[in-house]
Amino acid sequence: MELIMVLLLNNHNQFNQLRHRMNPIITVSSVSKHYPDSNQDQQALDNISFTLSSGQVLGLLGHNGAGKSTLINALLGAHRYSGNIEINGLDPIENHAELMKHLAYISDVNVLPEWMTIKQILTYTSGVHPCFDINKALSVLEKTNIKLNSKISGLSKGMKVQVHLALVISTNVKVLILDEPTLGLDLLYRDNFYSDLMEWFNQGERCLIIASHEVNEIEKLLTDVLILKQGKCVKLDNMNNIPKGTLADLFITLQKEAI
């Protein structure tokens, strides 16, 4: 497993070296968000800007209430905001249906229909997603202990995450957003999840956003990091500028500093 991850990360680093030659897949420009019933002196997001190109993996870090979920929802077109966002040349709100063909999202909350069997959900996804490769999904699931006649409701949380990932990596999406995807999973499921994820990621021109409190767990996957505090960006940098193994300490230090 460790050898596989090293090979995947080496390919991943090659992508990172080429990223500046490519047009951004994601462009976020001066994005702010204020909820009418919130504190008038504090915005949920305050003037956030960044770009992501193919091969980049952005770590989105921040304590609860820092603005991570608000930013993710803006990227997903789930609420309006000021500023501009383009994903694959599309506006998340104005071009929402078209955007969803190019973007996928996995959270720590199960969104799969509990009453469906694995076979049913594969058939359903094949019918509604134009780029879904059912044979790819079957190949991914063959490496697990999940049976096609099993119902979602009967699966453990780790198995549900595996099914969700199998569905996502069997589509040709350019952008994948992960929000605490391994929360509550044991070490084996986490290793398998990230191994399958990076294998898929390196097979195409894609970018990835990972929001997680498990800084040490995701650090080795990241090319870039965005740290939020009270809706503001307190750090946006390439991981080449951050000494290996120090991201967690940097995160803690920035959270203690006044804005």
Measured between alpha carbons, how far is 51 from 24 in angstroms, rounded to an integer?
6
Q: What number is the average pLDDT over the span 41-68?
A: 93
Contact 136, 94 (CB under 8 A): no
Q: Which of 2-6, 130-134, 239-243 has the lowest mean pLDDT?
A: 2-6
- What per-residue confidence (pLDDT) applies to 40? 55
How wide is the angle at C-alpha 9 spanned by C-alphas 8 and 10, nearest 5°? 90
Prediction pTM value = 0.86
Tell me which architecture the domain covering 2-102+173-256 has in CATH: 3-Layer(aba) Sandwich (3.40)
Domain limits of the chain? 2-102+173-256
- CA angle, corner 164, sides to 75 and 177, nearest 5? 20
Query: d(Cα 79, Cα 72) in Å, to the nearest integer?
Result: 10
Q: Residues 115-121: what's their mean pLDDT?
A: 95
Q: What span, in angstroms and rounded, lies between the C-alpha atoms of 139 and 137?
A: 5
Q: Point out the least confidently predicted range of 17-31, 40-54, 112-126, 184-198.
A: 17-31
